[in-house]
């Protein structure tokens, strides 16, 4: 993680200038209050995760109480149903009104497929400095892991706090991602813009 943060500091100056030119163009044109990519009734229990198993995993990974994880999961499931996969990982970022965020983790599919994942992107926030946190991302509508590796814009109006956990939605076509953060990762403003997911680590967030 030390090497990870060091690289972020090296590239922050370059990224800030680039984000000023591109960041405002990455938000979806039509605001969506909440993502609902598919009818929860259409998801097979054998191919999707249920609330109970995810509550335990999220609580352990993010270091939050089971009650907090259950509250967040209940609201997300009400919005979008059962996810077909999730990403466990860690990320770091730096900001001066605008900034950058980098992350790495593993995609876990209910089908048994796993895939190493990296992500990066410009951010828009209201704070100065940096942060580092763990992140747990629910995955909806992903039939092929290869479809994850593209740019996911954040959905306007979808960022919120519940039970001390920050939640926001990202969507492209029928694939929706729901990143969940806690602790020092509670920078809701930094969820604006987009996130680019890739198979290999990239240093430019575009």
Residue 167 included in any domain: yes
Question: What pLDDT digit, counting tens, does each position of 18-64 carry?
Answer: 333 333 333 333 333 344 444 443 444 568 999 999 999 999 999 99
Position 181 confidence tier, pLDDT thresholds 50, 70, 90: confident
Residue 179 included in any domain: yes
Question: What pLDDT digit, counting tens, does each position of 112-158 carry?
Answer: 999 999 999 876 655 555 566 789 999 999 999 999 999 999 887 77
Residue 57 included in any domain: no
Residue 180 included in any domain: yes
Residue 107 included in any domain: yes
Residue 139 included in any domain: yes
Q: What is the spatial distance between Cα 75 and Cα 56, in angstroms, rounded to a whole number?
A: 16
Q: What is the spatial distance between Cα 51 and Cα 81, in angstroms, rounded to a whole number?
A: 9
Query: What is the domain range of residue 150?
Result: 2-26+68-198
Residue 176 included in any domain: yes
For the chain, the first-to-last Cα distance in angstroms comes to 22
- 26 or 180, greater pLDDT: 180
| Number of folded domains that form the chain | 1
pLDDT at 91: 87
pTM for this prediction: 0.74
Strand-pair partners of 172: 175
Question: What pLDDT digit, counting tens, does each position of 77-121 carry?
Answer: 998 999 999 999 998 876 555 677 889 999 999 999 999 999 998
């Amino acid at each position: 993680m030390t090497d990870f943060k060091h690289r972020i500091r090296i590239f922050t100056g370059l990224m800030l200038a680039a984000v000023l030119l591109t960041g405002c163009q990455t938000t979806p044109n039509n605001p969506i209050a909440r993502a609902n990519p598919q009818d929860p009734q259409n998801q097979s229990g054998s191919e999707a995760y249920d609330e109970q198993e995810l509550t335990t995993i999220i609580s352990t990974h993010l270091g939050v109480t089971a009650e907090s994880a259950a509250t967040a999961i209940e609201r997300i499931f009400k919005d979008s149903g059962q996810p077909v996969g999730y990403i466990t990982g860690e990320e770091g970022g730096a900001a001066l009104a605008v900034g950058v965020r980098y992350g790495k983790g593993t995609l876990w599919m209910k089908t048994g497929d796993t895939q190493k994942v990296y992500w990066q992107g410009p951010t828009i926030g209201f704070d100065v400095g940096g942060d580092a946190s763990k992140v747990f991302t629910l995955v909806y509508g992903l039939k092929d892991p290869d479809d994850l590796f593209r740019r996911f814009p954040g959905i306007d109006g979808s960022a919120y706090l519940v039970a001390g956990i920050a939640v926001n939605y990202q969507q492209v076509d029928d694939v929706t991602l729901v990143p969940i953060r806690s602790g020092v990762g509670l920078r809701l403003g930094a969820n604006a813009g987009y996130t680019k997911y890739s198979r290999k680590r990239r240093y430019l967030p575009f």
